Amino acid sequence: MNTVVDYFLIPLLPVMAFIFAGLLLILVQCFKRPSLRPFTKLLGFLGPVGAMGATWYLFKSQPLAYSTAMAGSYEAWLNEFIQSYQLDSITMVWYWAIGALSFVSFIFIEAYFADLEELPEILILLEFIAAAMMLLISASNLLMVFMALELMSLPTYVLVGIEREKHFGAEASLKYFLFGSFATVLLLFSIALLYAYTGSLQFTQISNFLRVPVGGENPSGLMVLAASALFIISVGFKLGMAPFHMWLPDAYEGASTPITGFMGSAIKLAGFGMALRLWWGMLAPISSHWTEILGVLSVLTMFVGNLGALKQKNLKRLFAYSSISHAGYLILGLISISKVGSQLGVQNLFYYLVVYGFMFLGIFGILAVIEKQTGSTDLSNVEGIGFSHPFLGLCFLVLVLSAAGIPPTAGFLGKYLLFADAVRTGHTTLVVLAVLSSVIGVYYYLRVLVALYMTEPSQRIVLTTKNRLVFLGILACAFCMIFFSFFPQKLGI
Amino acid sequence: MREGLFIAFSLFTIAAASGVVLSKNPVYSAFSLILSFFGLSGLYLLWGSTFMAMIQILIYTGAIVVLFVFVVMLLNLQVIRENSPNLLFVGVVSATVWFFSLIILRVLTRAIPTNVTEIPTNQLRTISKLLFTRYLWPFEVLSLFLLVMIVAIFAITRAQEISHGGEKV
């Protein structure tokens, strides 16, 4: 049947690339030959490269034919089956970002775990996580959201604790697992409530029902309110929003450094993709009920992140808190999408997500190099790096300036776009608070820069990493900070 | 008749569930769990949901509780039990929370619209038809999910072996 191939399998190619790479890696593992290890490492890149290639192919061939153009012309079940995976022009750009972010983080991960025997398993899990991220942002019903979210989360819990020698790793993994499963249960509960109320799992049908309820139900009835509150809690857990952020610093600190980079960049991007689908794709008709709550939570998230980071001595923990505050800015962007004209708002959110993703990934790439050589990521370990290792220091400088939102970098433009959106949609108070909190944030970013360039090193650090690919990856991340600042149209702005 | 059966099955389930919590011997706990699952599946039968009743016994009794019993047997939990803290307080608190949330749920669901489909008579056919047509893709993703879990468990246990210096299998 041509329909299934054209409308389902071909759009699925980017996901298939990751799944195929994962299966191939499992197959290669069956031979148990140490000589196959370099091949395994190379094979790891098949997923991201294949996914980016497939996305590029889809982009070139038929930009919009893959959306829901064919509704109604086939049997109902076939329609629903095909639509359980939705690809539109926005999603395709997000696929690009997922492919690129996973590519760079695979470089860091392969270098960091080069001597570890479980490297192939780590790569297999990562391939499937990446596939699940793509499924998550293109899901069109709640069942698919749940499946993809679990396929993404459970291997992540395992990856956090993969380094057994680190005592803290297992603890972080367990904590992350417990919080994550709690959030999953709440998500399931809210799905059940919504299903009971609307009788459907499809986003479009639910949103139609909420707009015009059958039989004159009250669209803001208690059940819908409960479901939407539970959505806020469970998605808030996953994104690290403020009252539900407790797991995040521990999980990010306990995980191996490059895996934290992956979690903070690519998985966060997928999480926001899901939030976009759930809130603007499904609960948009009752948006007045949740935008206010999310607005308050976003400001709370920023302050918790920025105030929490002030006193941190460990750089991993510091940037974990910084990622909480960035989640706050992103949620502010999320709630100010609708009224601006949704396309533009989504693009601005995407711009910030990509810039933030590369920034976080680059910082954790550098931290991984430092940790590999010195054994920890204390602030004292980067003292004087700016002069003893000019290249790393410069990249670190650019990335941290971008995190702080200082003008020549893309971090500034991203923040400006989000805040401008929020002002236009009337969230002026929130924006004032957001600017205030990002001023607080500058303090601890500057502390890192002071350590880099203005402190006499208490110990002489010599980084002897010979892996050129890692430095190339770090350079790429730093380059993105400058490049996207001057050419934002490359990201669709 | 229905009311009487409902009350009987409910009481049976509750009694068996209290047996799980109260018995000192973990093996007795596991077997009381089986009994409470039988009670639950009786409740499902009362609601006309034959498939759920069958699955409840097949999966929970046949697979999960048997696993529990194996774990109890392998770990020799008698020893652990003597050192376990008194969880009565936690139990009372969580039972109270659940009781009140059930009441809240009752209040919330009083206004459920009736557009949720009726339980069909031939459930096995309905469910399998849905699984292989409308929900085929999530079903396929489920297979990936199981595969990933196998790899993940392999990765964890292997890491444990290496760090404990144990011999490799």
Contact across the interface for B115 and A214, Cβ inside 8 Å: yes
Residues 6+ apart with CB under 8 A from A21: A43, A44, A46, A47, A50, A127
3-state secondary structure of A202: strand
Name the residue with tokens 């590999």. Answer: A372
Tell me the ipTM for this assembly.
0.85
The single-letter DSSP state of residue A139 is B
Please name the member of A124, A217, A223 whose beta carbon is closest to the beta carbon of B108: A223
Mean pLDDT in residue range A83-109: 86
Number of H helices, E strands in chain B: 8, 0
Q: How confident is the model at residue A211 (pLDDT cuts 50, 70, 90)?
A: confident
Query: CB–CB of A258/A364 below 8 Å?
Result: yes
The answer, for A63 touching chain B at a CB cutoff of 8 Å, is no
- Output DSSP code: residue B168: P
Identify which has the larger pLDDT, B106 or A473.
A473
Range with the lowest mean pLDDT among A54-63, A79-88, A285-294, B13-22? A79-88
How many angstroms separate the CA atoms of A142 and A125, rounded? 24
Note the pLDDT of residue A365.
92
Question: Cα(first)–Cα(last) distance of chain A, in Å?
Answer: 39
Nearest residue to B149 (alpha-carbon basis) of A463, A485, A26, A310: A26
Q: Could B137 and A217 be called an inter-chain contact, meaning their C-beta atoms sit closer than 8 Å?
A: no
- Using CB atoms and an 8 Å cut-off, which of residues 207-226 of chain A contact chain B? 213-215, 217, 221-223, 226
User: DSSP letter at A314?
Assistant: B
Residue among A122, A124, A146, A220 with most chain B CBs within 10 A, to mutate: A124
* CA angle, residues A477, A249, A122, in degrees to nearest 5: 60
So what's the pLDDT on residue B164?
A: 53
CATH architecture for residues B2-119: Up-down Bundle (1.20)
Give yes or no for B141 touching A (CB within 8 A).
Answer: yes
Q: Which amino acid is at A457?
A: P
Say whether B138 and A144 touch across the interface (CB within 8 A).
yes
CB contact (8 A) between residue A125 and residue B148: yes
Looking at beta carbons, which residues of chain B come within 8 Å of A131?
A: 144
pLDDT at B155 > cutoff 90? no
Residues ≥6 apart with Cβ < 8 Å to B132: B139
- Of all residues in chain A, the one with the smallest CA distance to B107 is A222
Residue A399, judged by CB atoms within 10 A of its CB (0-12, 13-18, 19+), counts as buried
Asked if B147 and A118 come within 8 Å (Cβ–Cβ), the reply is: no
Closest CA–CA distance from residue B160 to any residue of chain A (Å): 6
Nearest to B138 by CA among A415, A206, A80: A80
* pLDDT, tens digit, 9 for 90 and up, residues A245-272: 888 999 998 888 999 999 999 999 999 9
Q: Are A223 and B112 within 8 A, CB to CB?
A: yes
Backbone angles phi, psi at B106, to 5 degrees: -60, -45
- Kindly state the percentage of chain A with pLDDT values over 90: 39
The C-alpha R_g of chain B, in whole angstroms, comes to 21
C-alpha–C-alpha distance, residues A278 and A280, integer Å: 6
Kindly report the nearest CA distance between residue A159 and chain B, in angstroms: 8
Q: In one letter, which amino acid is A282?
A: M
Q: A33: how many CB neighbours lie within 10 A of its CB?
A: 11
Spell out which residues of chain A touch residue B149, defining contact as CB-CB under 8 Å: 154
DSSP secondary structure of A55-116 = HHHHHHH-TTTTSSTTTTSS-HHHHHHHHTB---HHHHHHHHHHHHHHHHHHHHHHHHTTT-
Q: What is the mean pLDDT of residues B83-90?
A: 69
* A60-74 exposure pattern, b = at least 16 Cβ within 10 A, e = fewer: eeeeeebbeebeeeb
Specify which residues A85 forms β-bridges with.
A139
Check if B107 contacts A (Cβ < 8 Å): yes
* CB contact (8 A) between residue A147 and residue B141: yes
A contacts of B150 (beta carbons < 8 Å)? none
Mean pLDDT of chain B: 79
Q: Indicate the residue of B112, B148, B163 with minimum beta-carbon distance to A164.
A: B163
**Confidence class of residue A67 from pLDDT cuts 50, 70 and 90?**
very low
What is the gyration radius of the CA atoms in chain A, in angstroms? 22
Give the pLDDT of residue A347: 85
Nearest-CA neighbor of A237 among A225, A227, A247? A247
Distance between alpha carbon A111 and the CA centroid of its chain, in Å?
22
| pLDDT beyond 50 at B168 | no
Parse chain A into domains and list their residue ranges: 2-491
Q: Choosing among B102, B119, B144, which should be mutated to test the A contact, i.e. which has the most A CBs within 10 A? A: B144
Least confident of A164-173, A233-242, A292-301, B40-49: A164-173
Angle (CA) A287 A291 A293, round 5°: 130
